[in-house]
Amino acid sequence: MKFFIDTAEIDEIKTLADWGMVDGVTTNPSLIAKSGRDFKEVVKEICDIVDGPVSAEVVATDAETMIKEGEKLAAIAENVCIKVPLTVDGLKACSHFRANGTLVNVTLCFSPMQALLAAKAGASFISPFVGRLDDIGQDGMQLIEDICTIYDQYLYETEVLVASVRHPVHVLEAARMGADVVTVPPKVIHQLIKHPLTDKGLEAFLADWEKTGQKI
């Protein structure tokens, strides 16, 4: 399973890239606003750090303007993946970009049928938002299971990119279901590493080694 990092903070991306944990990056207008920086400048910097897909989202709501914005974003770097919303116009723009060989991430997916339409439009990635469904009392991970089942049934090449990940259990369940990608905030990556028995075991090993009086 690939790990995309859900952030627009350059330092966080550099740190995780050094760990070998970054297969791609996803950004959105909210993350860019949080960074307080110029959108295109941030996308360019991220693309210089990461070899994998870097999702950059259009903000237009009509297909014609989405395409114009997407073309400007795609010109930033070869690994830019145009991000469009799961609307009629977003699907139109998706079909256009895919016909021209540009990667497309269709975002804000909340139902299996929406995911099916995105796959038929040729989406490179579909981004179901599991955390937001959990927030309203629905089972976000059930959506992932349904999409994976449908895509496997018809051999769609669209990759399931689990988004709105809130905690390590989302990552675990996504891996069990065979999702292609999870996009996670940096803090969740840190949470995946930590386990009290790892810390306790390392402490014991080091204490025993010190007693030997040896050096490597």
- The mean per-residue pLDDT over the stretch 186-203 comes to 96
- The mean per-residue pLDDT over the stretch 115-119 comes to 98
pLDDT tier at 34, thresholds 50, 70, 90: confident
Of the residues 83, 194, 200, 211, which is catalytic? 83
pLDDT, tens digit, 9 for 90 and up, residues 148-194: 999 999 999 999 999 999 999 999 999 999 999 999 999 999 999 99
Domain ranges of the chain: 2-212
> Is 72 marked active-site?
no
pLDDT tier at 35, thresholds 50, 70, 90: confident
Q: Which residue has the tokens 């070998």?
A: 20
Weakest mean pLDDT among 26-40, 43-57, 132-146, 201-215: 26-40
DSSP track, the chain: -EEEEE---HHHHHHHHHHT--SEEE--HHHHHHHTS-HHHHHHHHHHH-SS-EEEE---SSHHHHHHHHHHHHTT-TTEEEEEESSHHHHHHHHHHHHTT--EEEEEE-SHHHHHHHHHTT-SEEEEBHHHHHHTTS-HHHHHHHHHHHHHHHT---EEEEBS--SHHHHHHHHHHT-SEEEE-HHHHHHHH--HHHHHHHHHHHHHHHHHT---
Q: Is the pLDDT of residue 116 over 90?
A: yes
pLDDT tier at 132, thresholds 50, 70, 90: very high
Nearest-angstrom CA–CA distance, 207 and 155: 53
Q: In whole angstroms, how far apart are CA 2 and each of 160, 182, 207?
A: 10, 6, 36
Sign, Cα dihedral of 57, 59, 65, 71: negative
pTM of the entire structure? Answer: 0.95
- The mean per-residue pLDDT over the stretch 203-212 comes to 96
pLDDT, tens digit, 9 for 90 and up, residues 79-114: 999 999 999 999 999 999 999 999 999 999 999 999
Q: Is the pLDDT of residue 39 over 90?
A: yes
Average pLDDT, the chain: 97
CATH architecture for residues 2-212: Alpha-Beta Barrel (3.20)
Q: Is the pLDDT of residue 64 over 90?
A: yes
| Per-residue model confidence (pLDDT) at position 96 | 98
